[in-house]
Amino acid sequence: MRRFVCGLCSIILLAACGGNSKFAVYTEDLTAKELLQGVWIDDETEMPLMRIDGDSIYYADPQNAPVSFKVIHDTIYIYGNETIAYKIDKQTEYSFWFHSLADDIVKMHKSENAEDSLAFTNREVEVIPTTLEVIKKDSIVTYNGTRYRGYVYVNPSKMKVIRTSYSENGYSVDNVYYDNVIHICVYEGRKMLYGQDITKKAFVDVFPEEYLNQTILSDMNFMGVDSKGYHYQANLRIPESSVSNLVNITISFNNELNIKKAE
């Protein structure tokens, strides 16, 4: 059995074999980290890619969130929304090459032009809005001769969603988006039968946490009323992708919520 325990400056590998325990300590390479301090330029495009300051990597794209890192042996570990390890192919004072997940070698050289640091002057991450204004939807259905009206309000929020994506060269970057809060309500005539805010927390028993953390609650539709209650269908979507899941929500006449992934 092997267990990896990450400490501040080291990773300890515990290997048990034949009843005897052996410890091998892999210490963070602080010399390699020191060599990485500064602004790094892509060899092919001659454009600034990243600035390394202390334990953090800042990207030139303001939509990419900064990440922390460590260099251990011949590998750089990036600790963002996901932990990614890249094998280092070459490192000198002015050159840094690493093997990307796309099986390409990303080649960079350290900038000697002070103006290149201007690409990193804004330390605030540019959050990408998914909904610019409140969206209101109104539906009318009739059940057993009674008219029901369902309202949906898709409200922008300041709740952040971090999604990991990959550059053309195959290294990971984290983009930050704002999630939505969706208010749903049902009226019988002027009488409100149900009204509640829905967030992604409602779906924790339906989807893995890793998926929910990268999705936004993008839409909600009132589907109708029957003997089981009021029916809605929510859309959970990974921003800037075609990946999404529909979720059926049934609210009983006793105001009990039942959530099920749409088939």
* 108 vs 104: CA distance, rounded Å: 13
Closest CA to 235 of 128, 137, 133, 126: 137
* 38 vs 111: CA distance, rounded Å: 7
- CATH match of 135-261 with 2.40.128.510: yes
Mean pLDDT by 10 residues, the chain (263 residues): 33 36 66 96 93 94 91 94 93 94 90 91 80 91 89 93 82 90 90 91 91 93 90 93 92 86 86
Question: What is the pLDDT at residue 6?
Answer: 35
Asked if 71 and 85 count as a contact pair (C-beta separation under 8 A), the reply is: no
Phi, psi at 179, each rounded to 5°: -85, 175
Phi, psi at 56, each rounded to 5°: -120, 150
This prediction has a pTM of: 0.73
**One-letter amino acid of 53:** D
Question: What is the pLDDT at residue 25?
Answer: 54
Closest CA to 56 of 78, 72, 35: 78
- Return all residues near 143 (Cβ < 8 A) that are at least 6 apart: 224, 225, 226
**One-letter amino acid of 37:** Q
* 77 vs 86: CA distance, rounded Å: 6
The CATH architecture annotation of domain 2-120 reads: Beta Barrel (2.40)
* 142 vs 75: CA distance, rounded Å: 63
Distances 158 to 127, 131, 196 between C-alpha atoms, Å = 10, 11, 19
* 261 vs 255: CA distance, rounded Å: 19
What are the extents of the domains in the chain?
A: 2-120, 135-261
Residue 114 DSSP class: G
Asked if 51 and 39 count as a contact pair (C-beta separation under 8 A), the reply is: yes
> How many Cα atoms occupy the beta-carbon half-sphere of 24 within 13 Å?
9
